[in-house]
Amino acid sequence: MEVLTEVDQARIADLRERDEFFWIDLVSPSDADLGTAGRLLHLHPVALEDTREFRQRPKLDVYDEHVLLVFFTARETGDPGWPGTPLEVHVYVSGGFVATVRRDRCSALDALHDTLVPEGKGPEEFVVYRVLDTLTDAFYPVIDAFEEQVDQLEAEVLDRPRRVHLGRIYRLKQDVHNLQRIVVAQREGFHRGSDSILALSGLSQGSRPYLRDVGDHLVQVAGEMQRQTDDLLALTGTYFNANSDRLNAVATRVTIFGTLFILWTLVTGFFGQNFGWLVKHINTRHAFLVYGVGGLVVPTVILLTLFWVKRDDWF
């Protein structure tokens, strides 16, 4: 089976005339190339208009001789603050060809060019599945990238929560939610529209298990996205709890030092009242060390010992 990466009019016309199943994968085609491909493949003008505009929602539109599947995948960005981004791919499925149109690089599809059909499988039986399954499975590395960031954030928050962590959590949550919204819509639309793909003239009915497998993978991806959303929500609560514990620890230290200063103020205030006995009897170094220094050190030691013994009950 042939894989085309450009609009070769002679080759496409020959493949169509011989009724040989093929895949054409176009990256950022010009309007002229898209129009030529539409004419050679008999694509509906409304479907071509959607592909020219892009920025569509996940959907499956059924036409006379083909279906247009607006299918989303994802790719890693390498940015820790924004690990994954969605990638829109327009997939035209017919009984005689599969055509994919995209505006950005997709390494998963590029790698599929040379390994599309294993030995012993008919192209019309397997190609649609391989293309859609590859696009779906590309979500898993992005999910792993999100998981790595969530684990790292959790460790940092538990160690020392800072305001910057809250911003990172909300940005990750927004990114995951955006992908989850796309995947959920894609999952629902694919389950409803897979019968329309199987009904196309020229496709074998034996491809039903393959398309069901794509649907199962979409369910798994949506579940992983939901789990990561829940993890980020829990991490938000962990941040506030850890920050509250940190503030409580600071307040505890301030309270201890404040209590000590109250004690010291009480002792020094007592000795500063100029009672006659104090004035007459504390006039030697020995009396100063016993009454003055001892009056500060002994209560301080007793109070600190009490704090230490009760530390597990009070703090």
Q: Which domains does the chain have, with CATH numbers?
A: 2-244 (3.30.460.20), 250-314 (no CATH)
Q: Determine the Cα–Cα distance for residues 214 and 198; give it in Å rounded to an integer.
A: 13
b/e code 268-299 from CB counts within 10 Å (16+ = b) = eeeeeeeeeebeeeeeeeeeeeeebeebbeee
Residue 61, SS3 per DSSP: strand
pTM of the model as a whole: 0.76
Question: Residues 6 or more apart from 172 whose CB is under 8 A from it?
Answer: 81, 83, 146, 149, 150, 153, 232
Nearest Cα neighbor of 131 from 209, 191, 220, 71 is 71
For residue 120, the model assigns a pLDDT of 47
For residue 205, the model assigns a pLDDT of 57
In the numeric block, the tokens 């998963």 are attached to: 108
For residue 102, the model assigns a pLDDT of 94
Residue type, 172: L
In the numeric block, the tokens 């894989």 are attached to: 3
For 251, other C-beta atoms within 10 Å of its C-beta total 11
For residue 245, the model assigns a pLDDT of 77
For residue 254, the model assigns a pLDDT of 86
For residue 259, the model assigns a pLDDT of 85
Q: Write out the chain's pLDDT in tens, 315 residues.
A: 788 889 889 998 988 888 888 899 999 999 999 999 999 999 999 999 999 988 899 999 999 889 999 999 999 888 887 888 999 999 999 888 899 999 988 888 888 887 775 554 556 667 888 899 999 999 999 999 999 999 999 998 888 888 898 889 999 999 999 999 999 999 988 887 777 877 777 666 555 677 888 889 999 999 999 999 999 999 998 888 888 877 777 777 888 888 888 888 888 887 777 777 777 777 778 877 887 788 888 888 888 888 888 777 655
**Radius of gyration of the chain measured on its C-alpha atoms:** 35
For residue 1, the model assigns a pLDDT of 73
Mind listing the pLDDT tens digit for each residue in 38-52? 999 999 999 999 999
b/e code 209-244 from CB counts within 10 Å (16+ = b) = ebbeebeebbebbbebbeebbebbeebbebbeebbe
For residue 118, the model assigns a pLDDT of 54
Q: Determine the Cα–Cα distance for residues 215 and 228; give it in Å rounded to an integer.
A: 20
Phi, psi torsion values for 169, nearest 5 degrees: -60, -45
For residue 225, the model assigns a pLDDT of 92
